[in-house]
Amino acid sequence: MKTAIIIKREYLSRVKKRSFIITTLLLPILFIVFLFGTSYLAAKSTREKKVVVKDDSGYFTGKLKSSKTVLYTYSQEPIEGLKERLYNDSFTALIHIPAFSLDQKQKFQIYSNENLGTEVENNLNEQANDIVRGERIKIAGIDEQKYKDASSDMVSFDNIVGKEQKKGNTSLASMIGMASGFLLYLFMLLYGASVMTSVMEEKTNRIAEIIVSSVKPFQLMMGKIVGVAMVGLTQVAIWVAFIAILGMVAMPLLGNMQMDPEQAKAISEQAMAGGDAGFAGKIATLMATGTLEGVNLLSIFGWFIFFFLGGYFLYAALFAAVGSLVNEGQQDAQQFSTIITLPIIFSFVIMTTAIKDPNSGLAVFGSIFPLTSPIVMMARIPFDVPASQLIISVVCLIGGFIFTTFLAAKIYRTGILMYGKKITMKEVGKWLFRKG
């Protein structure tokens, strides 16, 4: 009963705050604006580059095609005069092509007043090599169209997984795994730190002394942990509802965007390989081409909630213990919280490996070890993890939560009432092995 009162207090005191309401409502909107805004800005922000070509042999003159962002013009002026004009900002870059021979490799010089990045160089490199390749094909007496047909990609792959012969989608699984793992990483740090801050405030303001006179320290700790968890679930529920409504509005539109297989393949390859569309563009392409069909998003979401709660409860207990150790503000908190955040950061690193090879030894270990399993296993789930590994991971995570809560409670009940003394790791170790 007392624990329920603490849970209610922790929950209501947070959800009634203006900051909670603003964050909960604005975050999904800001996320969508950021997601699609960055893609839009990336497409629009590239400035036009005027490039003058000085071709000594005239071999490439008129053959380099301008794009929306790279405009080629040709000049026969002396190179020194062109350099002078370049340095006076008459144009963006100057390309000097020395006398050219098809039999030798040659380097072109690109002069500019500032670092151009890779756009101009890549554009020139691709076009120049295509021109040279086409000319050499003609000299060899090979039909250019036949050469293009022979060198085009003729093989694509369908990933068939397991005896059930289910179709896999590596690109989609990678994106869902990365997004899920990152969200868990973010949530565990944010909500765990929220528990620590709450404990620190009550201890430094001496409120904890009054509360502990009425309830046991363990009840106070669990009340805080569960209360903040309910706040987190409330936010997630609101965000899911927002996404569901958005999906209901978007799906009819996306249904009208379904394409024939050849068109879908071309657009999908361009979006995945080019990178110009950004993450939002890739997701939109996957949805438009029907690539999301067959993905069990409900199952993934269910596992997300489980690992969110499991990871949160495990780390929140440790963060609460750290909060109880603080006597001198943030410096004390940083000393102990760094030890807790390291496994979270390390699990994020393992997650990137797990996405590249979801069945590697490191990925399997990371998805079972309780301190790293919430993030790593969530990144592996879209790749269809074996049921046995999922069960082991669940059991280990629950066991890890019970164990860390037991340790955290021993630290919390002593630390919450200790004032005026700098607490060391050695002293914390003694509390852990103290009986009773």
Q: What is the mean pLDDT of each run of 10 residues along the chain (436 residues)?
A: 84 87 83 72 69 85 84 88 83 84 79 78 84 81 75 63 59 81 88 85 73 76 88 87 75 52 45 45 49 67 91 90 75 75 91 90 94 93 89 95 87 76 76 71
Residue among 280, 213, 285, 217 nearest 254 (CA): 285
* CB-facing half-sphere around the CA of 393: CA atoms within 13 A: 27
- 369 touches 396 (CB < 8 A): yes
User: What is the model's pLDDT at position 436?
Assistant: 57
Residue linked to tokens 């839009």: 40
Q: Tell me 386's DSSP state.
A: -
Enumerate the H helices of 16-113 as residue ranges.
18-44, 79-87
Residue linked to tokens 């309401």: 21
The answer to whether the predicted template modeling score (pTM) of the entire model surpasses 0.75 is no
Structural tokens at position 89: 């900002």
- 349 touches 343 (CB < 8 A): no
Compute the distance between CA of residue 17 and CA of residue 398 in angstroms, rounded to an integer.
32
Backbone phi, psi, residue 104, to 5°? -130, 145
- Cβ-Cβ contacts under 8 Å for 102 (sequence gap 6 or more): 132, 135, 136, 139
User: What is the model's pLDDT at position 91?
Assistant: 84
CATH class for domain 49-148? alpha beta
User: What is the model's pLDDT at position 230?
Assistant: 92
> Which residues on neighbouring strands pair with residue 109, listed in sequence order?
96
| Domain residue ranges in the chain | 2-39+169-432, 49-148
Residue among 39, 32, 375 nearest 189 (CA): 375
Residue linked to tokens 């293009």: 148
